[in-house]
């Protein structure tokens, strides 16, 4: 087995490793670098049989669009849906690649390689580490993993039942030089949100990746404990109960979709704001535009809304003055 580290050894993110054995060559991730000083890699010039994607974060899959069309890509089913959905929500075409799903702990083969995916705890859902075997050699690639999330038992099980006879280990080290004392686990994050909002009289905003389901769960649990109401946008509402993007595309602009117990909400015109609302809750109107044409959100009473999750990487929004997007 021949190993070539193309990117990621001296930087956080931008991971890309090439493995070759016999007549087969594969890539472990094709990450978009986080640093502007990162050295580029011409993936289009590489002759590879497939790409393995560990999880749906841009610093691990963001360069796969530069692979030749039709290149086989092996990825978790939910991770693939999230990547597809993001492309739809931002108005871009889905990747012209040949996607293949795999399942946790079930080995599959790509040419001379046998790959076993291990589901791991990470801020991205559907994240995997890989055991890769070829011609008597065994390599373990951790992808991004942690032990302090709501799926920490996956890390504990990996430690309790370690994979033996590893010839080479690639282990991520993002937190090796960082302190995590303030928020040692996701429960600490939930408690901090709870303490922040329980006495809050005005509206609170949470800025978070919609794909960080652990964080959305923490916000929900904190709101439930504090007797507050959680309002999320359409993209965030879609993530826990995904449909195929083509099924939801028409719904995104023309109507607000009720998901679970979320509140239908939108933005206020200043002139029509109910007099009992504090000034901090008065918003301008908002226009939403997409391939389906511009649409107008109807005015709804947001006086019961206590915390909003703001759309960060979903639908394109055009706003006037100091408008803030809130959607069910």
Q: Which two tokens stand for residue 18?
A: 């090439």
The pLDDT tens digits of the residues spanning 87-98 come to 888 888 889 999
In this structure, which long-range contacts are made by residues 235-238, counting pairs with CB atoms below 8 Å and at least 24 apart in sequence?
Answer: 235/85, 235/89, 235/210, 235/311, 235/313, 235/314, 235/315, 236/210, 236/309, 236/311, 236/314, 237/262, 237/328, 238/85
What is the C-alpha to C-alpha distance for residues 73 and 133, in angstroms, rounded to an integer?
Answer: 18
Cβ(144)–Cβ(57) under 8 Å?
yes
Count CB atoms within 10 A of the CB of residue 110.
20
The pLDDT tens digits of the residues spanning 4-25 come to 999 888 777 789 999 999 999 9
The pLDDT tens digits of the residues spanning 37-54 come to 788 888 888 889 999 999
Higher pLDDT, 294 or 212: 212
Domains belonging to the chain, first-starting first, are: 2-170 (3.60.15.10), 186-319 (3.40.50)
């Amino acid at each position: 087995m021949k190993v070539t580290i193309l990117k990621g050894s001296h930087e956080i993110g931008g991971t890309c490793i090439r493995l070759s054995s016999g007549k087969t060559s594969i890539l472990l991730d094709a990450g978009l670098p986080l640093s502007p000083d990162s050295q580029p890699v011409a993936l289009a010039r590489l002759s590879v049989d497939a790409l393995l994607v560990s999880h749906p974060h841009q610093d691990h899959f963001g360069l796969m669009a530069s692979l030749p069309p039709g290149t086989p890509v092996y990825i978790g089913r939910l991770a693939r849906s999230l990547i597809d959905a993001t492309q739809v929500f931002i108005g871009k075409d889905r990747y012209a690649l040949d996607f293949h799903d795999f399942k946790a702990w079930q080995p599959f083969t790509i040419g001379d390689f046998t790959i076993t995916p291990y589901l791991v705890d990470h801020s991205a859902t559907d994240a995997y580490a890989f055991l890769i075997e070829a011609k008597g050699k065994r390599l373990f690639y951790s992808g991004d993993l942690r032990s302090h999330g709501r799926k920490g038992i996956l890390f504990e099980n990996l430690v309790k039942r370690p994979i033996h006879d590893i010839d080479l280990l690639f282990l991520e080290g993002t937190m090796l030089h960082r302190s995590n004392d303030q928020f040692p686990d996701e429960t600490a994050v939930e408690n901090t949100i709870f303490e922040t909002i329980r006495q809050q009289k005005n509206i609170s905003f949470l800025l978070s990746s919609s794909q960080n389901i652990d964080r959305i769960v923490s916000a929900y649990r904190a709101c439930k404990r504090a007797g507050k109401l959680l309002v999320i946008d359409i993209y965030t509402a879609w993530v826990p109960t995904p449909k195929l993007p083509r099924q939801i595309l028409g719904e995104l602009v023309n109507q607000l979709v009720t998901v679970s117990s979320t509140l239908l909400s939108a933005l206020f015109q200043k002139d029509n704001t109910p007099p009992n609302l504090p000034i901090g809750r008065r918003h301008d109107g908002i226009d939403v535009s997409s391939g389906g044409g511009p649409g107008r959100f109807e005015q709804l009473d947001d006086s019961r809304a206590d915390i909003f999750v703001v759309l960060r990487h979903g639908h394109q929004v055009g706003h006037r003055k100091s408008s803030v997007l809130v959607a069910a």
